[in-house]
Amino acid sequence: MGEIFNLPHLNKTKMTPAEVLKSWTTLNQFIASADEEQAKQLLEIELDNASRYGFMKRIHSRYNRLRGLREQDELKLKAKNNYKYK
């Protein structure tokens, strides 16, 4: 739980996951710009610690969205690379 997240959008250069998960306000401010790996880490930390369903649902929603976007991009690349013109 000691990893540090850089949060320039919160006017803080560093914040621990514990600080991010302290309140809905900090979670929502952070999660809006979190990347897929950060969202996954937060979800794992929340599962291992407080296990608040609402927090887990919010984090999972963001993680799922980011993962879905990445997977769609991967599919687009595969489709472009495998398309054969006739």
9-68 pLDDT tens trace: 544 557 889 999 999 999 999 999 999 999 999 999 999 999 999 999 999 999 999 999
Q: What is the pLDDT of residue 39?
A: 95
| Phi, psi dihedral angles at 62 (to 5 degrees) | -70, -45
CB atoms within 10 A of CB 44: 13
Per-residue pLDDT, 4: 64
Q: What is the pTM of this model?
A: 0.78
Q: What is the pLDDT of residue 83?
A: 65
**Cβ-proximal residues to 63 (8 Å cutoff; 6+ apart), any chain:** 36, 39, 40, 43
